[in-house]
Structures are given as C-alpha cells and as structure tokens.
Structure 1
Amino acid sequence: MSERNRVTLSDVAAVAGVSLSTASRALNGGGRVSVETRSHIAEVARRLDFRPNALAQSFALGRSRTIGILAQNSRGAFTEPVLVGAVAHLGSREQACLLYDTGFAPEKLADGVRRLLARRVDGVLVLGDGLGTQLRSVTGDFSVPVVYAFGLTDRPGDSCYVPDSEMAGRLAGEHLLALGRRHIAHITGEEGDAAAIGRERGLLASLAEAGLPPAGDTLAGDWGRAWGAAACRRLIDSGTRFDAVFCGNDQIALGAESVLRESGRHVPDDVALVGVDNWEYVISGQTTRHLTTVDTGLSALGAAAAAQVADGRDAPGVHSHPCRLVVGATTAGLPSDG
C-alpha cells in the first residue's frame, strides 16, 4: 500500500462510528472506553489493515517505544544469540532498539547510561558475556525497568536471566545414567565460575539420586579445548575407572575426545561424552550431531528478558532459563560426519 492510500486513524473512526479521540484512546490502551467499544474499534482496525504511525503513538502515549541495550560484548560467540533473540522479540512488538556496546570498561558503561538517559528510553536491557564475572548494576540510574541477560549483577534483587546451569548438569547426568553408565567423571572450566558451579551441582545431584559417587574429583581448569585434552590425560593417568565424562562445555569435550581416541578408547562404546553449549549449531549452524551436548537456549533467553523489559514488569531475582539435551554420536553411536 502506498503512503497516499494508507488507512488513517480517521478512517478507522469513521467506519467504527466513533470520534477520532475515542478511536485513539481505544487503540492506544488508554482513557475510559468500554470493553465492547474497544473490541469493536480493534476489529475495524484489523479489517482495514490499519497500521498506526509509531511516532504519533509515541507522542500520544508519552513513550519513546525504544528499548536501550547495553552489551558488554555484542559480537561475542554466545552473546550474539542472546542479542538476536532479544531484538527479534522487540521487533515483533514494534519496539525500536538502541544498542551501545560498552565493552568491559566502566567509563564506556557510564557513557552508555548517559546516552540512554538522554534518549528517554522505555526500558533497558543489559547483556553480559557469561557468568564468569559480575555485571555492575545500573538499575539505580534509571526510572524505567532494567533487566539483565546472560549475566549476574553485583546488586541483590536485580532481574537477571541466565541459563539454568544446574539443569544442564542434571540433563547430562540423567542421560548418561539412562545409558547404563555408572562411572561418570567431570571436567569443567574455571573454578568459581557460576556456570561451572551450577553444572557440577546438577551432575552430582543426579548421581546422588542414583546412589552413585562421581568417578574421581572434578577437574577444573579453563574453557578451552587444550584444557579438555590435558585434563583427560590426567584422568587416564590417575587410573580412575570411568565410562563417561560430562564436560563443562563443548570445547572441553572435543579436547577430551581427541585424547580418548589417541589412547585407544572408543567413543561412545568405551567412554560416552556430553558437553554443553551446542557449539556445532549455535556457532556454525551445523545440523549434524556429532557431540551430545546441552543447548542452553540463549536466543529464547534473550527473548524472555526482552519480554520483561517491554512489559515493564517487576520481576526481581534470578530467572533460570531451561536447557535441552541434544543427542549426538558421542553417546548414541550415531553416524557422524566429524
């Protein structure tokens, strides 16, 4: 439809048989308009394919219809899916976004806050870069809702959306136990990282419920593939009996897998492997399933956090977003291209 032929609010009011001001109040959700009249006007607007002018709506409602986004690392491998999920959700609600990539510098964060305050945004979404370090809370700087995603803040009571790390560990443990594995070792990332702590807790809980101890002590290092390989060598050299390894992320799992194969152990016949992150799909978009992994649902997490901002809801506290198990060749023996 051309701009000249576009349906206006006056057209909707005329067809609905109401005044222009009544039509405006009904469609903007304000004023004293009966339920029946509001429903009638909304139906007319749908039938005429009326598309309100966003700028005019903003003036009428006294809102910018813009959500500010402060990201520590918007191009990060795991931050990007969170950002995409958030922006897609806001777009579906015709909310504009204003993104500032603050990096990890306090002065850049402060500058981003000042810029958003000047823009009079309707809400703020702060994107962290994982659970390894705390985000500085900016909730007190704004009078509008502030929600955090993929990060925890230094202020109790902030609304933070994070992957359910404990659920990730439980899913991995329960899957391995269901396959008949009884000697499950654990190699994870940085000690003290909230994600690593949660994943270990979930695994140990699933083992405890089965009446089983872990195979040896948890080996903690970093999140890289080289550490996965080094830790797996250490596990083999220790003489610990194990028939499965739950790894804190997919990179650790791939490093461990390379050492298992070098040692003559077959995956998954001798040792089953589970990682976390669904790296093959999230990062590269591959649909083949070599590594059994836990997908932390980052895009959906971003959408959930954005929904709270857009709704203006008061939902303080940590919101743990559910994960899902993705079964691949390293536990199921499926054909693999890898």
Structure 2
Amino acid sequence: MRPATLKDVAAECGVSVPTASRVLNGGGHVSAETRRRIHEAAERLDFRPNALAQSFALGRSFTVGVLAQKASGNFSTPVITGIIAELSRRDVAVLVYDDEDNVSARPDNLRTLQARRVDGIIVVGDGTDMPFPSISKMFRTPVIHVFGVSESPEDTCFLPDDVQAGRLAAAHLLDQGRTRIAHVTAMRYSRAVRGRLKGFSAELEAAGRPLALAEPLFGDWTIPWGYRAGQELVDRFGAFDAIFCGNDYIALGITRAFERAGIRVPEDVALVGYDNWSKYSGSPDRFLTSIDPKLNELGHLAASALLSQEPSKRPNGINYQSCELVPGMSSGMLPFDELGAVAFRLD
C-alpha cells in the first residue's frame, strides 16, 4: 500500500492542500474544529511528512548537531544515547561530531556544524572539571550543554545533582544504622568531588554525626587508588563502619583490599559507590549499592529542552537533574542469594 500524501489528508478533510500543510506545520488561520479534523485525518491515514519538503518550506533542516568532547567515553556514551533516542522519537536527525578528547579538533568540527545549518547544537562533555569556551555566539540556533559546563554563565547546562547524590549516600547509610561514616574520593579540585562532599557532609551534620576519620581520603577515580586507600583503612579498622566512595571503581578497589584483610562487606563495613556502573556496562552485578546519575535520562532532558519552543525550558545557567540510589549487597540492602551464583568477582 502506498504511503499517504498531504493531498490525501486534505481530501479526507475537505480542505486545500496549502491549508492542510500550514496546520500540520503548526500554523494556519483556521477554526479549532478544522485543525482537529486535519490532525485526526493525518493520524488515521498514518501520514508522514516529507522531511526534505518540510525543510525547504520552513527554512529548517530538522537536524541537530551533537558536539562531543569524547563520544566513546564511559559516561558520555549513555548521554549521547539518550539524546539520539529523544531526537529520533521526534523525527529529528542527528549529526555527531567527536573531538575525541583533542582540543585541536574542535575548530574543524565547529566549521562543519556552521556549514550544515543545523537547527540546534548539544555539546556533550566527558565530565564537569574542565569548562568549555562558549560557542553560543557562533550560531543563531540554540546551544545546550550536557554533562559538561560552559565558561559562560548565560549558557544552558544540564548536570547530575552531585550535592543531592552526597545527601542520598549519607542518608542511606544512616538509615542502615551506620554511625561512623568515612569518605574516600578523587581529586580535591574536582567539581564533582566538591559537590558530593558538600551534600554528604551536610546530611551527616544534620544527623549530628561527624565525618569519620576527620577528613576524606583524596586520590583519583581508579580501582588501584581504591585498593591503596583500602589498605590504609585496614590499619584504622574500627574507626568507621561505612564508607561513601567517590565512584564505583574506588568502591571495588576498597572491597578488594578489605577482602584480602578479612574485613567483611557489608557485615563489618557498608559501602556506597557512585555511577551505578553495572547499569552502563551491561553487567547484572548487584553487588554495589550505588548512586545512579541517570545519564541516559540527562540526554533526553537536554534534547527536550533544545527542541522546546518555550524559553523557560532553556533556562540560563546550570540545571541539575536528581540522582537515584540503587540498592545492592554492599550496604546490606540485598542478601547474597539474590545476586546469583557468581554475581561479583574481584579477580
């Protein structure tokens, strides 16, 4: 069966082809009843507008450019996947340009995007520690930043709420009856580290519980750092009964060090990580209790804001998306038999 045409929709409603076209493109001076009949006819006939014809008629390309700092990054990939899913749902094409974590590649990618005359641009970072020079004045179309920060406070940026993440971790461990809670994290200068520590400390303070060990242990985001921190903490065992880890890799390193020292997780020490990495790696592992920054949803949110016709949906400055605590065995939330026969291996 041949696909329905605009002429078929117009004939079904008894209106002219130009009238049907204007209404389906969001315009047209017609009554509410006529507008309703045209839209219902288009849906009934499963009418799909010709994208090329629409782009010429409306002066739009129906294409959005995604400019990625590093498209293959562990955490930028789910953001991009969310963007593409949302744009595809709205019949908008996507062009992805990847800097491949190489600053010198950006000028060429920007020139290509300018030549493409895209309807909007989403800049995807690979973290929030290095702000990007603003590109908004280079384009007449809207620019959105996600999982990365622009140097301009006037640009719209979407980030996970790291302060809320720290609060979630502390509240959960307190609810589990832990009273001496330590924090092992990455670099002091990191925006994410500072945000999570701020929320974590505020929640402990509100509960009247001081931070165990007096101050956090700072290192990097890796399993080896978590292991070294775990070895250091073995000698201080007894001064803490829970740890909020800056990410899941740190938590796994600490777990390895504790296991080899005979310290049990969660019986002796409860752990909470951040990233919910098993979700993005495709692993069924439910060992770690972790804070999920919901990166896929963050991509959906950025794409929706870009396409919105309401300026209030693209507010200037940084906009935070709430995170979610995902329970696992490491904080005592799941018994081992729910994890499967071999749910977690250290080697």
The TM-score, its normalising length taken from structure 2, stands at 0.93
Q: Distance in 1 between matches of 2:87 and 2:46?
A: 21
Given residue 62 of structure 2, which amino acid in structure 1 is its aligned partner? R
Report what 1:234 is aligned to.
Answer: 232
Deviations 1:169-195 (A, max 9, x none): 111111100000000000001211111
Confirm or deny that 1:12 pairs with 2:13. no
Report what 2:323 is aligned to.
Answer: 323
Q: 2:116 aligns with which of 110, 119, 126?
A: 119
Deviations 1:134-154 (A, max 9, x none): 122211111110001111111
* TM alignment of 1:204-283, pairs within 5 A: 204-216=201-213, 217-238=215-236, 241-283=239-281
Confirm or deny that 1:99 pairs with 2:101. no
Given residue 220 of structure 1, which amino acid in structure 2 is its aligned partner? F
Question: Runs of 5+ in structure 1 lacking a partner?
Answer: none
Report what 1:182 is aligned to.
Answer: 179
Q: Distance in 2 between matches of 1:183 and 1:153?
A: 38
Contact 1:149 1:162 (C-alpha < 8 Å) held by counterparts: yes
Confirm or deny that 1:200 pairs with 2:201. no
1:44 to partner: Cα distance: 0.8
Deviations 1:214-234 (A, max 9, x none): 002111110001111111222
Contact 1:133 1:193 (C-alpha < 8 Å) held by counterparts: no
Given residue 259 of structure 1, which amino acid in structure 2 is its aligned partner? A
1:54 to partner: Cα distance: 0.9
Q: Distance in 2 between matches of 1:270 and 1:107?
A: 50
For the residue of structure 2 that corresponds to 1:181, the secondary structure is coil
Q: Distance in 2 between matches of 1:188 and 1:102?
A: 28
Task: After the TM superposition, list the runs of 4 or more consecutive aligned residues in structure 1 that deviate by more than 4 angstroms.
Answer: none
For the residue of structure 1 that corresponds to 2:298, the secondary structure is helix
Deviations 1:61-102 (A, max 9, x none): 110000011001101111100000000000000000111101
For the residue of structure 1 that corresponds to 2:290, the secondary structure is strand
Q: Distance in 1 between matches of 2:88 and 2:237?
A: 55
Q: Distance in 2 between matches of 1:33 and 1:141?
A: 38
The TM-score, its normalising length taken from structure 1, stands at 0.96
Q: Distance in 1 between matches of 2:205 and 2:180?
A: 12
Report what 1:334 is aligned to.
Answer: 335
Q: Distance in 1 between matches of 2:252 and 2:171?
A: 21
Given residue 331 of structure 2, which amino acid in structure 1 is its aligned partner? T
Q: Distance in 1 between matches of 2:236 and 2:148?
A: 36
Question: Runs of 5+ in structure 2 lacking a partner?
Answer: none
CA RMSD, Structure 1 to Structure 2 (Å): 1.3
Contact 1:13 1:19 (C-alpha < 8 Å) held by counterparts: yes
1:275 to partner: Cα distance: 0.3
Given residue 9 of structure 2, which amino acid in structure 1 is its aligned partner? V
* TM alignment of 1:58-73, pairs within 5 A: 58-73=55-70
